[in-house]
Structure formats: structure tokens, C-alpha cells
Chain A
Amino acid sequence: MSPIDWGVLVIYLTWMIWDGLRRSTNTDKVEGYFLASRSLPWWAVGLSVMATQMSAITIVGTTGQAYATGLRFVQFYFGLPIAMVILSLTVVPFFTRARVYTAYEYLERRFDVRVRTATSFLFLIGRAFSLGVVLAAPAVVISTILNWSIPVTVLVIAIPMVFYTSFGGVQAVAWTDVKQMVVVVFCMAASVGVLIWGITRDVPLSHAINLAGATGRLQAVDTRFNLSETYTLWSGLIGGLFLSLSYFGCDQSQVQRYLTAKSIDEARHSLLMSAFVKIPLQLLILSTGILVFLFYSFQAPPMLFNRAYDAQVAGGPYAAEYSSLQQQFDREVVARTDAGKANDTEKFLASDSRLRDLRAQAADVVKKTTGDQRYSDVNYVFPTFITTHLPVGLVGLMIAAIFAAAMSASSGELSALSSATIIDFYQRHFVRNADDAHYLRASKIATASWGLFSCFVAMYAANQGSLIEVVNRYGSFFYGSILGVFILALLTKRATATGAFVGLIAGMAVVLSVAFGMPWVAFLWHNLIGAAVVVIVGMAVSSFSR
């Protein structure tokens, strides 16, 4: 990066943190610290809701996924708008009127302290580890781009994030999120502009789109009903609906966002903003990935985008094999470019297929040389484009946006962990009648402690691919079960505390069995299975335990 890009990066991050803290008022009260005194406008809450889900890995990973497979990942979000409508009608007015601090607080009023503590505990365990992964995943990518070590990268992301979240509370989180969303959208739109300009120097845009279509990258909707296929219309609409209901309706990191809104209407508007914008925004990000593919169809791409092991491979026992693959790759790139310019779809597809094979063989060589069996370059496609083809200044802003995305996705989770720790555990079980100053001190300590814990998890997770997989699996099995408990609480009058508690345990057990016993069932379906088991078992047990 040039000095100008470094300047843009430092100035942007400093301003984001300073302005976030400056806008944080009334943080000497617990309600101000955790819920912004329920005073934020809908658009700020809405942008904050979207920013919490837009992690750095969404920007680099989703574009990389679209580069390889096209638009099909958009189906993951098909259930979200429907979930937002259902939540606006049910949970939003309910939680807002109940004046709760956490989603789980309500479960004690409806059932008993056992159910509240169990669900809040599940949230804390799941979120604490996922926060580590949310920090680790971008740290791995950023460390390669900037040639920093992973611990240094984790600390550069985490220290400012923990600082502004500890001192500014949820308001600092929300206002930094607002800026992050604006910058991310601006940077993505600018990248699209640069990509289209670059592509149309070689071929007309319609011609390029035709090539993208020929490779299958414009096939967004898969109407087959196949439980083992992760992204289909049905897994997105049904599994995605239950995932979104659980995530936005029962996960403190999201519930806390809309509890900061001024009124029920403003909270609803904030969720409906996601309902309208989320799919188009994901299409923008996925389209960027496809445009990067088209761009590299006319500009020579590197054989592998993740260059972390270049030196090791060049000096390793398979160096000659790698070099031969590189020569074949270079020849095939020229053939594909010529075919693309001539609009010869058949030759273009044949060359593209050979290039995919060569890339796979090159990745195998890296795996054989380094022993890193999880080596992949999906997350490095977009960063490579950014650092080599964007104009000076925009590179710094784009890297700043990736940093900011890593921070805002983690800060929302950190604030939610702190609020659940203090409200559901510390205040409920240990110190019941202290003043605001006491709880505020405890909250800041909790925020800093969870931040420190997540740094340790991140540094460990960065080198442990299997741990990341375990955490992702864990997240998908507890979401559905927690949703089941909230369905029992909100939609039935007959459910008892014992029914909800036993149902929760049964739901977790069944989803765990499915996740490990039937690994071919795509994880989005775990949410539906978990919720259904909790409701069925919960109602059955309730009928005996009245």
C-alpha cells in the first residue's frame, strides 16, 4: 500500500472511533450504556443491524464465493425478509413494551429463572466462541495482505474495538456501525465502477455478461428440493426463515440493536430496512465477485490468490511441478482471454475448465508442501483485486472498510455478551440491588474481559480450521432450539416452565445427533429441526407437568 493509502486507513479508523465515542451520551446509566436510553432513530438502528451481520469475511468471502460459483449464495437470505415481517408483528412490540434489557429476561417472567439462565448461558457460550472466530477469520486475510503476524492483526482489530465498546457502550457501537455501512456500500459501488471500466476496455458489457451466464454464474435460484444441497430456494426460504427468526428474534446481539430504538414503530422500521435492503445488498456484493471473475478473464490473474506460502512452495520438493503448472496456466489464460474477446463461448468454457483444474492441482501442491490441508484462496480473490487494481486512496479506504467491518461485527457481539452477563447473571444471581454506577463498572469490566477472551480464542482459532468448523456447527444447532423456547413463550399459553426446559434440552440433543449422525443434512435445516423438536417436546411435557 502507498503512504496515501496508509494515511486514509489511519485517519478513517481514528475518526470512526473518536466520532463513535463523541456521540455516546448518557453512558453513566445502565440503560444508556446498554440500550442508548432507547433513543436511537430507526435508520441508525437499521444500519447497525445490517453492519453487525456484515463482517469483514462477508466482504472478502462472499465476493470470493461469487468469483467461484456465482449468485447462488443469495438464496441463503431468501427467508430474511419474511422473518422481518413476522418479527415486526410479534417480537418487536412485545420486547419493547416489556422494557427488558435482554431477550432472555422475558423468559423468566413467562417461565422461570431456569429457562432464562439456560438460554442466556447457551447464547454466551455460542457467541463468545463465535466472536473469536469473527475476529480470527478477517485477521488471517488481513495479516496476509499487510504481511503482519496473526497476533498483531488480531490485536490491531480488537484493541480499538474493545476500547470504544467498553467506554461508549451500545451507542458507540451503533454510530460506528452507521459509518461502516456507508463506507462499505460506497467502496463496493466504486469497485463495481472500476471493474466495469476495466472489463469494457476489452469487450462490451453485454458480451461479458453473456460469458458470465455461460459459466453458470448467473444461476441464482435452484428450485430442486434436496436436503443435502446447502443453498436452494427451499433451504433459503424455510431453513433461512427459521435461522433469521432465531437470529433476529432471540439472539441478544440483534435484539439489543432494536431495543435501542425510540419506539415500537422505529424498531419495526429498522428491521424492515433490512427486509428491503439485505437481498439487493448481497446481490451487489455477489455481483462484484462475478465482475472480478470477468475482469480476470481479460487481465491475467495469479494462479492462486493466497500467496502466503509462495516462498515455501518455491523452495520445496514440488517446486518443479508447481513451475510447470504455472507455465500451463499462463498459456491457458491467454487462450481464455482470446476466446473471450472473440466471443467464442465454447472455447472460453473449455479454457476456463482447464484453468480450474490447473488451479486445483496448484492448490494440491501447496497442501502437499505445507501440510495445510485447509488451504484455500477464496477469501483472497477480492483483496488481491483491491490491492493491485484499485486507484491510490480507494485502496486505503477499502482496507479501512474491511477493518471497520471486522470491528463492527465484533463490537455488537461484545456489547451483547456484556449485557447478557451483567443483566442475566451478575444482577440476577449475584448482586441484586446495587446502584447504576456499580453495574456500569461491572459492565465495562465484563466488556473488556469478553474482549480479552475473544482475542485468545481468535489467536487459537486462526491456526485451527477444525475449531472454526465446530463453532459454526454449534451456532446452527443452538439457534433453532432457542427459537423453539421463544415460540413456546410467545405463541402458546399452555407451555410450562418444565416443558420449555425439557424441550430445550431435547431440541439441542436431536440437532446435535442430526449434525453429527447425518452430516449430509445441510446446516440451514438444523434450525427448523431444533425449533420443531423444542415445540413438540415442550408441549408434550407441558401437558403432563401442569
Chain B
Amino acid sequence: MSASPGPERDTAMTGTYVAVIVIEALIIVALWMLGRMYS
């Protein structure tokens, strides 16, 4: 994908997608650990 001006502007966002997945994984692990702490 290449950047172009105007409404067709379409840039690669691989880093952002990876960040979304990593942050979600961290949140799920943190919530799981919170539950374990009080089980």
C-alpha cells in the first residue's frame, strides 16, 4: 500500500495493528492474573 493524498490516502499501519493485539493480550493476561490473585 502506498500513501496518496485525499480520500484515497491509504498508509500501511502494521505497527498499529500489532500494538492493538499486544495490548489486548496484555489486558487479558492482567485480568486473568487479577482473578487468580483473588481465587
User: Chain A residues in contact with chain B, CB under 8 A?
Assistant: 38, 71, 74, 78, 81-82, 84-85, 88-89, 93, 96-97, 210, 212-214, 216, 218-221, 223, 233, 262-266, 268, 272, 275-276, 279-280
Contact = CB atoms under 8 A, between A and B. Distances in A.
With most chain B CB atoms within 10 A of its CB, the pick from A38, A93, A219, A266 is A219
B13 A268 contact: yes
Contacts of B23: 81, 276
Contact of A264 (B8, B21, B27): B8
Contacts of B31: 71, 74, 220-221
Interface in B1-39: 6-11, 13, 16-17, 20-21, 23-24, 27-28, 31-32, 34-35, 37-39
Contacts of B9: 263-266
A221 B28 contact: yes
A266 B35 CA distance: 37
A296 B34 CA distance: 23
A265 B10 contact: yes
Given A78-B28, A272-B20, A262 B38 contact: no
A476 B9 CA distance: 35
A219 B24 contact: no
Interface SS of chain B: helix, strand, loop or mixed? helix
A221 B35 contact: yes
29 contacts: A38-B7, A81-B20, A81-B21, A81-B24, A84-B20, A88-B17, A89-B17, A97-B8, A213-B37, A216-B38, A218-B35, A219-B35, A219-B38, A220-B31, A220-B32, A221-B32, A262-B7, A263-B8, A263-B9, A264-B7, A264-B8, A264-B9, A265-B11, A266-B9, A272-B13, A272-B16, A272-B20, A275-B24, A279-B27
Given A213-B37, A218-B34, A78 B13 contact: no
B24 A82 contact: yes
Contacts of B28: 78, 221, 233
A38 to B, nearest CB: 6
A78 B38 CA distance: 22
A89 B16 CA distance: 12
A212 B38 CA distance: 9
B6, B16, B31 — most chain A CB neighbours (10 Å): B31
A212 B34 CA distance: 12
Given A81-B20, A88-B13, A263 B6 contact: yes
B6 to A, nearest CB: 7
Contacts of A38: 7
A78 B20 CA distance: 12
B35 A85 contact: no
Contacts of B24: 78, 81-82, 275, 279
A236 B8 CA distance: 34
Contacts of B16: 272
A103 B36 CA distance: 43
Contacts of B27: 279-280
Nearest to A84: B20
Given A82-B21, A221-B32, 14 more contacts: A38-B7, A88-B13, A88-B17, A212-B38, A214-B38, A218-B37, A219-B38, A219-B39, A220-B35, A264-B7, A264-B9, A275-B20, A276-B20, A279-B24
Nearest to B38: A213
Nearest to B16: A272
Nearest to B23: A276
7 closest Cβ contacts across the A-B interface?
A213-B38, A220-B31, A263-B9, A219-B35, A221-B32, A264-B10, A81-B24
Nearest to A213: B38
A96 B21 contact: no
B32 A85 contact: no
B21 A85 contact: yes
A82 B17 CA distance: 9
A59 B10 CA distance: 36
A262 B32 CA distance: 39
B7 A263 contact: yes
B20 to A, nearest CB: 5
Given A85-B20, A219-B39, A279-B27, A93 B10 contact: yes
Contacts of A97: 8
Nearest to B17: A85
A156 to B, nearest CB: 38
B19 to A, nearest CB: 8
A2 B17 CA distance: 48
Contacts of A218: 34-35, 37-38
B35 to A, nearest CB: 4
B32 to A, nearest CB: 4
Contacts of A268: 13
Contacts of A233: 28
Contacts of A93: 10
A82 B11 CA distance: 19
Nearest to B33: A221
Nearest to B19: A276
B27 to A, nearest CB: 6
A212 B35 CA distance: 11
Nearest to B37: A213
